[in-house]
Structures are given as structure tokens and as C-alpha cells.
Structure 1
Amino acid sequence: MASEIAKAGGARPLTVWYNTRCPVCDAGIRLQRSRLLEAVKAGRIEFLDINLKPDALAQFGAGLDDIRRRLHATNENGRLLVGADVVLEIWRRTPGQAWIAKLLGAPGVIALTRFAYDRFADLLFAWNKRKGRW
């Protein structure tokens, strides 16, 4: 869908790369995707499984394990977002959740948000690895 929009000269969507082999990650993205159904249908945001295209973000130096560990996305300008910054951007676009992004992305709070996200992501990555999901 993103390529169709780009060919038509429209704006590129927020493209979120996530790991469907992680049950927690997959469930979270499924929930957000349902909340963002209109944006998905309109091509303003897309959610893609990194396991189907492991080298998708190689030009940014992001390998498969990087994306399995933390969400990655490219925004409308082609800029790479990682981790908590992806979650904040998704919340900004989700009806009724922009206030969460504003609160957790505020100056003075964003560093704590990123730290908490990264620690949770590290634990989740290790748990998935122990469970043999990749």
C-alpha cells in the first residue's frame, strides 16, 4: 500500500516494523491496528512483520535482532524512529490516546519513558529468546 501511495505522489505513511513471533508485541500491535483502522485503510500508517522482510531496514544499520528487540518505524520524511519514539508516534495518531504521547513524550519525561521502554524491551527480547521463538 505504501508503494502505491508513493507512486501516486501522496505522502509516505508511518511504517511500523514489528515482530509477530513475540506474542506480546503481536498482541499490542493488533490492538493498536484495530484502533487505527481508518488510518490503516487510508494508507497513513502501516504495520509490517519484520520476519517477512528481515533486511527491510538494513540501510539504517538495523538488523533483524534490533527490530525484534525494539519497534522500528520510518515516518513520512523517511526518518527512522526506534523504541519508545515509535510507541509515542503511534499514540499520537490513535484516537483518544494522543494525551498519553503528550504526557510521556514531554520534556523531562521522555528520557524516563525511553529508559523504561528499553528495559522492558530487553526483558521481553530475552524471554522470547529463552522460549525459542527465534
Structure 2
Amino acid sequence: FRDINFEPEALSAFGASLEDIRRRLHATDSEGQLLVGADVVIAVWRLTPGEGWLASLFGNVATVPLTRIAYDRFADLLYAWNRRKGRW
């Protein structure tokens, strides 16, 4: 993990700005591919012992579109809340 507050340029090679990173989770996989939003959460669940069932449930072909929509709405609310609280 890298803290964007200390390394805001960490994902600049992917064209991700500080505001992009604050709005959605960003990560790179073992092959260097950029993951954003719900895809990051699903990837973390896949790698976390005992959490693979969450990745199977929310990351399968049928449910991943809904997972992404739900994540995006939650991320929008969290971003707005942090802005209102003056955190950024």
C-alpha cells in the first residue's frame, strides 16, 4: 500500500490524479494492470484468506455490474462526506 497523501504521484503513470484517487480506490495487480473501484475490492477479497467467497459472490459475471454501481454510489457519498468535513 502507498499513502497518496505522501506520494500523490504514485499512479500518475496511469493518468490518475489525486482527486481520482480520492474518489475511488486504485491499485495495480501483479502484472502491473490498473484496477479501480470495485475491481480493487474484489481483487483484495480474492487474495484475503477466508474472503474468497465475497469475491465469488460479488465479482462473478452476473453480479459484478451491480457491484460496481453500488461501489460507485458509496464512493461518491464517502467522497462528498470527506469534502464536507474538510479532509481534502
TM-score by length of 2: 0.97
Correspondence 1:89 to 2:30: no
Q: What is the deviation of 1:48?
A: 1.6
Greater Cα radius of gyration, structure 1 or 2: 1
Q: In structure 1, what is the Cα distance between the partners aligned to 2:52 and 2:60?
A: 12
Correspondence 1:50 to 2:9: no
- Equivalent AA in structure 1 for residue 13 of structure 2: Q
Aligned Cα root-mean-square deviation (Å): 0.6
Contact 2:2–2:10 at 8 Å: present in 1 too?
no
Match of 1:70 in 2: 24
TM-score by length of 1: 0.64
Count of aligned pairs: 88
Runs (4+) of structure 1 moved beyond 2 Å? none
Q: In structure 2, what is the Cα distance between the partners aligned to 1:48 and 1:55?
A: 10
Q: Which runs of 5+ in 1 are unaligned?
A: 1-46
Q: In structure 2, what is the Cα distance between the partners aligned to 1:69 and 1:106?
A: 24
Q: In structure 1, what is the Cα distance between the partners aligned to 2:82 and 2:52?
A: 30
Q: In structure 2, what is the Cα distance between the partners aligned to 1:56 and 1:95?
A: 27
Q: What is the deviation of 1:108?
A: 1.4
Q: In structure 1, what is the Cα distance between the partners aligned to 2:2 and 2:14?
A: 17
User: What secondary structure, in the 3-state scheme, does the structure 2 residue paired with 1:50 have?
Assistant: coil
User: What secondary structure, in the 3-state scheme, does the structure 2 residue paired with 1:78 have?
Assistant: coil
